[in-house]
Structure 1
């Protein structure tokens, strides 16, 4: 005989539908607040009409083994919502990392929780340096993972057999997801919202956050100039070392030694891959940064020279003139005048 449920009482409200996307957050000690907030806000804005923030279409919770407040790298503390419990109540577990040097192991109970989630084939994501914690547990073995260019060398130093992806903003490899941090966390969240709620919901979230449009995971990370798009792994690692030391450029011999090769071998790889020696690549990277600062800030040429590793303003001006055919100040003026937002003075004659 069929088992019929009792009809709802008169006037009773039907149970709300199950959210289509449920996320459990694990915040590591000294986590990066921006990565967490960017990911969270995409969910929040997709979960409700407008920016009402009701967890209707999405649900989220900050998880903890002991319910103690978790301090971010900037000092802000977050109160957990729930204990770890069964990871199966979520579609994804998102691990948010932060300062590498602050890590002395995972809080008690967290490793078994993440390993259980992996065994249950629940999606696991690492934001910022959260992927380091997953790799330490062996949860990234056999998976591609995204690491910020800034932490590329740190990752290689700890995980010699792994080859992190540092030229994309995020990577999705089956049930493992990872992103480089910062605004890329918003794009990874938008990817999941698109997958579970639809593209309109993802675009709506990003639009309210003043982000133009969703970016695909293979969008290059900001940092290395596009003209130095190296294929050789050794060259890529050397370029990343240069990028990480813009203000105080490392000698080429030091970079080669840190990479475990001789200077001549490094030079051969650069010439074969990019057609230029490492010293020229270093100058190009620093000039690209100088152009960016000239275009997007009002810093003086002297300060830009200091921040990009040139001896002084005269050195930057000389190198800039050799490559651009003009001085930094004139380049900035010409760019400002050619900008679509530039308006002529009211007294100017048309």
Structure 2
């Protein structure tokens, strides 16, 4: 602990909110701190304290439209144990965090203050150069965007959060509570973590390396974490296809073991599941973009357009051109 703190204060965090930040990630994180800082639900800032900082006094609007006012200017970084950058909607054309705040985060890092990228806060840290040579964690939803924008940075969406040196990146969503509870346990104690999670009605804190909840096939709960990891790997490699042997190896299995696990958990082979994942991504592109269908085929891992159309028709009972045509006729795609 730094010497300028009150004796009882064990954890102090400074928040920086990006434009269109994710309200759920921020609120889960800060409420976990609040409940762990005092007994029961008294909201006393006894063990923890936090500030929402900004270079100006303007309200920050979340992606849901709810506005949060900053309650402090940019304080000296060494006043805090962590600086948390809360990201939200990704927009390359908009400055999501003003240059003064970005410079503040960089200076905080250089001063030795640990930095946390919450939700797409990881993108902001990467843009600022704070993830060079480090391993980052992002949501499965943003994995492709991150890889495309920062190909030189090692990234995972198989885990809830990653701590690499003095930088922590977190997938966001409910994992924000897991990370906050982890920090409570580290700095305040197990009793603080327990109090927070019980009041939030969270049964337990998930470990950082636990899988992000995701089932690309949409077939209910998958009880085999290795199958779940393989499916996520498939989803992350739709255009740049992997061999089933490589997917098995990344899941810690042989090909034969992966085949058996998929049959048991899903009733299909890994190759069949991979094809379904690719075709579902193709359908998403057909419905939500104006990308030419020949390019959609390539983005879904098909080098032959006729083969793509055949498989698409088998899965969805109509060719991709008909899907596009129907959407245009209904006014859902201009």
Q: Same fold (TM over 0.5)?
A: yes
RMSD: 2.8
Q: Deviations for 1:163-189, whole angstroms, at most 9, x for unmatched residues?
A: 211111111122111111111000000
* 1:300 counterpart residue number: none
Quick one: which of 270, 273, 277 aligns to 1:280? 273
Q: Deviations for 1:85-121, whole angstroms, at most 9, x for unmatched residues?
A: 3111111000100101276233130121011110111
* 2:288 counterpart residue number: none
Q: Deviations for 1:205-231, whole angstroms, at most 9, x for unmatched residues?
A: 011001001111011110145353557
* 1:66 counterpart residue number: 56
Q: Distance in 1 between matches of 2:93 and 2:42?
A: 36
Count the aligned residue pairs.
Answer: 255
How far the C-alpha of 1:280 sits from its partner, in A, is 3.1
CA contact (8 A) 1:26 1:62 kept: yes
CA contact (8 A) 2:13 2:80 kept: yes
Quick one: which of 231, 234, 238 aligns to 1:238? 234
How far the C-alpha of 1:124 sits from its partner, in A, is 0.5
Quick one: which of 22, 25, 29 aligns to 1:35? 25
* 1:246 counterpart residue number: none
Q: Distance in 2 between matches of 1:280 and 1:196?
A: 44
Quick one: which of 80, 105, 115 aligns to 1:124? 115
CA contact (8 A) 1:27 1:96 kept: yes
Partner SS for 2:155:
coil
How far the C-alpha of 1:27 sits from its partner, in A, is 0.4
Tell me whether 1:228 sits opposite 2:221 in the alignment.
Answer: no
CA contact (8 A) 1:98 1:129 kept: yes
Tell me whether 1:91 sits opposite 2:81 in the alignment.
Answer: yes
CA contact (8 A) 2:134 2:154 kept: no
Q: Deviations for 1:272-326, whole angstroms, at most 9, x for unmatched residues?
A: 8555554333448999xxxxxxxxxxxxxxxxxxxxx9648xxxxxxxxxxxxxx
Q: Distance in 1 between matches of 2:92 and 2:277?
A: 34
Q: Quick check: which has more Rg, 1 or 2?
A: 1
How far the C-alpha of 1:237 sits from its partner, in A, is 4.6
How far the C-alpha of 1:266 sits from its partner, in A, is 4.9
Q: Distance in 2 between matches of 1:29 and 1:168?
A: 25
* 1:218 counterpart residue number: 209
CA contact (8 A) 2:134 2:153 kept: no
Quick one: which of 149, 160, 168 aligns to 1:177? 168
Q: Distance in 2 between matches of 1:66 and 1:213?
A: 38
Tell me whether 1:153 sits opposite 2:144 in the alignment.
Answer: yes
Q: Distance in 1 between matches of 2:275 and 2:63?
A: 31
* 2:322 counterpart residue number: none
Pair 1:237–1:163, CA change in 2 (3 A): farther
Q: Deviations for 1:209-266, whole angstroms, at most 9, x for unmatched residues?
A: 01001111011110145353557xxx8553236xxxxxxxxxxxxx33xx3x6xxx65
* 1:331 counterpart residue number: none
Pair 1:218–1:277, CA change in 2 (3 A): closer
How far the C-alpha of 1:51 sits from its partner, in A, is 1.0
> What are the ranges of 5 or more consecutive residues in structure 1 without an aligned counterpart?
1-14, 242-254, 288-308, 313-350
Q: TM-score, normalised by structure 1?
A: 0.66
Q: Distance in 1 between matches of 2:205 and 2:245?
A: 39
Pair 1:125–1:103, CA change in 2 (3 A): farther
